[in-house]
């Protein structure tokens, strides 16, 4: 994970937000994934096409009592899992 990374939602992945949480579903694989409030904040930021740095900044503002290192660790773990499950893709040309 690099702060300049940008991600995109692959075709066939649908998301529905309800009460501050988001459900992701891959229509191709049938994978179903639930995001809590923090995951939903990450998802919203990534859907807007901004770099990861902007998403991390938004998280720091939204959750000021959580240490930055914890925010970055949790975001990295979530992004890796979403990419692995095919629910998110690292854009071409993004830093490895």
Q: Please check whether residue 35 lies inside any domain of the structure.
A: yes
Q: Please check whether residue 83 lies inside any domain of the structure.
A: yes
pTM of the predicted protein model: 0.82
Q: Please check whether residue 1 lies inside any domain of the structure.
A: no
Confidence of residue 96 (pLDDT cuts 50, 70, 90): very low
Q: Please check whether residue 14 lies inside any domain of the structure.
A: yes
Q: Please check whether residue 77 lies inside any domain of the structure.
A: yes
Residue 93 C-alpha from the chain's centroid? 18
pLDDT tens digits, 2-18: 667 788 889 999 999 99
- Residue 76 predicted with pLDDT over 50: yes
Q: Please check whether residue 63 lies inside any domain of the structure.
A: yes
What residues make up the domain containing 40?
7-87
Output the DSSP codes for 6-75.
-EEPPTTEEEEEETTEEEEEETTT--EEEE-HHHHHHHHHHHTT--HHHHHHHHHHH-TTS-HHHHHHHH
Q: Please check whether residue 67 lies inside any domain of the structure.
A: yes
- If one counts every other C-beta atom within 10 angstroms of the C-beta of residue 86, the result is 14
Number of domains present in the structure of the chain: 1
């Amino acid at each position: 994970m690099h702060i300049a990374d940008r991600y995109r939602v692959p075709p066939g992945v649908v998301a529905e937000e309800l009460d501050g949480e988001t459900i992701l579903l891959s229509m191709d694989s049938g994978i179903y994934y639930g995001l809590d409030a923090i995951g939903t904040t990450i998802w919203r930021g990534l859907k807007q096409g901004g770099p990861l740095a902007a998403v991390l900044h938004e998280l720091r503002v939204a959750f000021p009592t959580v240490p930055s290192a914890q925010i970055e660790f949790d975001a990295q773990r979530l992004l890796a899992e979403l990419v692995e499950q095919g629910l998110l893709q690292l854009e071409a040309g993004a830093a490895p």
